[in-house]
Structure formats: structure tokens, C-alpha cells
Amino acid sequence: MNKLPEKTIGRLSEYRRTLLNCLAKGKTHIYSHELASLHNITPVQVRRDIMLIGYSTTLKKGYDVKALIDVIGDIIDTEDGLNAAVIGIGNLGKAITAYFNGKRSKLRIVATFDVNPDKTNRVISGVKCYAMADFEKMVKDLDISIGILTVPPEEAAQVTERLIMSGIKGILNYTSTSLNVSPNVYLEEYDMITSIEKVAYFVKQQNKES
Amino acid sequence: MNKLPEKTIGRLSEYRRTLLNCLAKGKTHIYSHELASLHNITPVQVRRDIMLIGYSTTLKKGYDVKALIDVIGDIIDTEDGLNAAVIGIGNLGKAITAYFNGKRSKLRIVATFDVNPDKTNRVISGVKCYAMADFEKMVKDLDISIGILTVPPEEAAQVTERLIMSGIKGILNYTSTSLNVSPNVYLEEYDMITSIEKVAYFVKQQNKES
DNA sequence: TTTTTATTGTTAATCAATTAACAATGTTTA
DNA sequence: TAAACATTGTTAATTGATTAACAATAAAAA
């Protein structure tokens, strides 16, 4: 199962979220067009994504919700799961930690880090906050491979250096500083201002049309 | 200036962020390859994006930082600016409000909303929080056209109904509920779990390779 | 049972985005 | 000044993603 398109990975994660909701509601099967309309995409796209991960059903009563969840899990998750840390426990760090905490058994936020001594050595949003001074040690002790960066922008570059040096393999960067990392570290960046500006641009376009 | 690719809009927003930093540091000109390496993309892509917005320079000493900022502003911003509101002022809502506040003159968060009476009628993260009960009135009074949704997932669908009914034209959805909106409303969705799972997937892939 | 309908899986076609290639032309160096 | 170099702007080629089209077939209706 090599080389799935990046876009497909994102959608699979979203499908699973929806499928877990369906399961909780007792829904056992779901049609491609149902899944599609829940995500504002076409049924063909859903079927194609599902084809790519090698799941199929002989029935014409939609996909087996439980089975599909498992197959997506085989793609996205690792057997033992991965450990992540949130670096910088301000409002955004707290939001992510609290929101994520316990939602995915194969992906855990096992630590948060901050420089502020008022925050360290306490449990915040359900996870213990360590001092940045202990970062390298804790990465080893807790086998952390993913860093979620929510520090102030001016500290981002320097903190990233430490993440990479300590052996972190994937970084999700929420600071408004673009980072450069070595090619063996996966980097995903997200800037909220850009997202808001995109919405603003399309609102502007719509206003022009009418 | 019609029909720029969506991806280009996102990058223009990011270029501007970087250019504003350059300006603050006193840098007056920037090469396409500099801008490119700051964003982990190719110089060609930068030049192409800039071509698409109709800016060009006769010099071979890079782009004029100030001029480029202005041209990007002409594309993204409206003359009078647009007003946005954050709906649901938990940790994430607070993070966005505080982070964004005052950063862009043509895009303002003018109100936040919540159902919790402990939060309403107070200034939170620098912006006044109103009761959800007053939502429709305040959208009119403050001319709000963009809604940033940070309410609990189970309330997302119902709140979205109200946003659309009240005339909101663009929605940025940070809840983990996929929304359906009429085609004249622009919707951008972002789920943090999906982003973390994407990082996890690529970390897994990398581990497999080695 | 037979026919109709609905749904999946998949290939081919289209559309969108990125990258390569290169002409034009300032700028720098010899 | 002349030659070498670096940089931009742009078209063409390539790559990647989405959508259309349709065969196969289970399910439902007649």
C-alpha cells in the first residue's frame, strides 16, 4: 500500500471521523453518495479513494462501516501507535491538547512543553506540562515522534532546531513562521490568518459578481 | 483580475506575511528564490504566482517589497475591509481572536459570541463577547460577513443555519463537523485531527522506508 | 421469475497545478 | 566597453487530481 496521494490521506482521516460518528449512532452500512454528501464531495471521489486503499464490498448496500474504519486504520495508524507532544501551551496549545486528548487510540499527546514555570510540572488540558529544559530527555523517555508547534512565532525557528536534533520525525507548525527542515522530517504548516484571508478573498469575489 | 487559482491565493497570503516581516527588518527588495526558499517552494512557482497577479519589475534586483505587498493587498483585501466574528469563545476561539487581533487592517474580528453568560458582555482576547441571542442583531449592526466557527461539534450544524440566515457570506469551520451550505456561501473547513493524522501517516511511511 | 433500478469498481478523459525550458534583459566582472 | 552572469516573465510540457463514462452485478420491483 505505497504512495497514496496526500489529498486522499486527508480525506480518509475525515471519512473515518464521520464513520465513527455513524457507528456511534448504530449505522452499520453507508453508501458512497452518503459519505460524499457529508463531505461536500462527489461519490466518485469517495469510491476512488476507497478503491485506492484496497477495500471493496460485494454487496450493493453500501460499505460496511466497521470494516471500513478498520481498513482506514490500517492505512493511517501504526500498530503500536505514535506519541506526539505540544510545544507551547498557550490558548492554541491548550485547545489542541484538550480537543485531541483520548480521541484516537493510536495517536496520543503524551506531553506538553513550555518555558513558563507557572505552567510546568502541572497537568494542563489533561496532559502533563514539562519544562522546555527537559525536552530532549522526555522525547527519549516517552518515545515522542511528532511535535505540534504552538510557540510564539519568534521562537519557532530555534525550537524547531531542537525538535529535529532530538529526533522528532514529523512537525505540525501552527506558528506564523515558515520553517525549513531536513527532507527526512515531514513538515505540515498551517496559518490561521491565511485561512481567514482565503475566506475573505472569496467573499470579496462573490460580492463582485452580484 | 478574475479567477486566480485557490492555491495561489493561499500562497499570496503567505508571501505577504513574509514580505511584511522583511519590510519590518528594512529589506526593500527580495528575489524570487529568496521568497521561494522561505516557503519551501520553487522560485518558478513564486514568479508564476506573481505573474498571475500582474505585478512585474524591470529591475533584476528582485521584487520591490513594498510594491508587492500593495499589489497582493489589492487582490486579497477589499477597499473598506471585511468584518469577521468568532462564534464560540473557548480555548481555540480565544487563540484565534488574540492571535489575529489587529494584524490586518482590512480584516477585523469585531465580535465574539458565546452562550455562556459568564463570558458574554465582557472583553475577551481584546474583543467584546456577545450573547448568541443577539447574534442576528449584531451581524447587522457591525456588518459582519465572515464567521469563524469554534463551537462544540454537536452545535455546529445548528449554529451554521443561523449564520447563513443572518447573511454571513463566508465560514471558516474549525469544528469537527462537516457542514453543508448553500453555494453562495463560501465554506472552508479545517480539522486539526486530520492534520495530525496526516503527519502521523507520513512519519509511518518514513519509518517503513528506513 | 424477469425486468428495472441502484450501486460499486475502474478505466479513460478532463481539468488543475507544478515544473521545465528558455528568451529577454539588467547587472556585474574582466 | 565587452563578456559573463543572474534574474525575470512566459510558454510548453509534465505531473497530479478530479470527474465522466460505463461494465458488472446485487437488490428491488413488476
Q: pLDDT of B6-27, one tens digit each?
A: 999 999 999 999 999 999 999 9
Q: What is the pLDDT of residue B208?
A: 84
Average pLDDT over residues B108-122: 98
Residue B83's SS3 state is: strand
Burial of B3 (0-12, 13-18, 19+ CB in 10 A): exposed
Q: pLDDT for B63-111, tens place per residue?
A: 999 999 999 999 999 999 999 999 999 999 999 999 998 899 999 999 9
Q: What is the pLDDT of residues B124-148, one digit of tens each?
A: 999 999 999 999 999 999 999 999 9
Mean pLDDT lowest among A21-25, A39-43, A74-78, A179-183? A179-183
Q: Which segments of B17-106 are extended strands (E)?
A: 29-30, 63-64, 82-87
A·B CB contacts under 8 A: 180
Q: Is the CB of B56 under 7 A from strand D?
A: yes
**pLDDT score of A210 more than 70:** no
Ranges in chain A annotated CATH 3.40.50.720: 82-193
Q: Where in chain A is the domain with CATH 1.10.10.10?
A: 6-75
Residues 6+ apart with CB under 8 A from A70: none
Q: Report the pLDDT averaged over residues A58-83.
A: 97
Q: Which residues of B touch A95 (CB under 8 A)?
A: 90-92, 95
Do residue B188 and residue A195 have CB atoms under 8 angstroms apart? yes
Name which of B178, B184, B187 to mutate to probe chain A: the one with the most chain A Cβ atoms within 10 A of its Cβ: B178
pLDDT surpassing 70 at residue B2:
no
Does the structural domain B82-191 have CATH classification 3.30.450.20? no
Average pLDDT of span B169-186: 95
pLDDT value at position B93? 98
Nearest to A200 among B38, B76, B99 (CB): B76
State which amino acid sits at residue A173.
N
CATH 3.40.50.300 fits A82-193, yes or no: no
Q: Tell me the average pLDDT across A117-146.
A: 98
Question: Mean of the per-residue pLDDT values for chain A?
Answer: 96
* Length B134 CA → C14 C1' (Å): 48
Rounded to the nearest 5 degrees, what angle is found at the Cα of B101, between the Cα atoms of B95 and B103? 120
Second-level CATH architecture of B6-75: Orthogonal Bundle (1.10)
Start and end residues for every CATH 3.40.50.720 domain found in chain B:
82-191
Strands A122-124 and A107-114: unpaired
Residue-wise pLDDT tens digits, B31-69: 999 999 999 999 999 999 999 999 999 999 999 999 999
**For residue range A181-193, what is the model confidence (pLDDT) as tens digits?**
998 999 999 999 9
| Per-residue pLDDT at A1 exceeds 80 | no
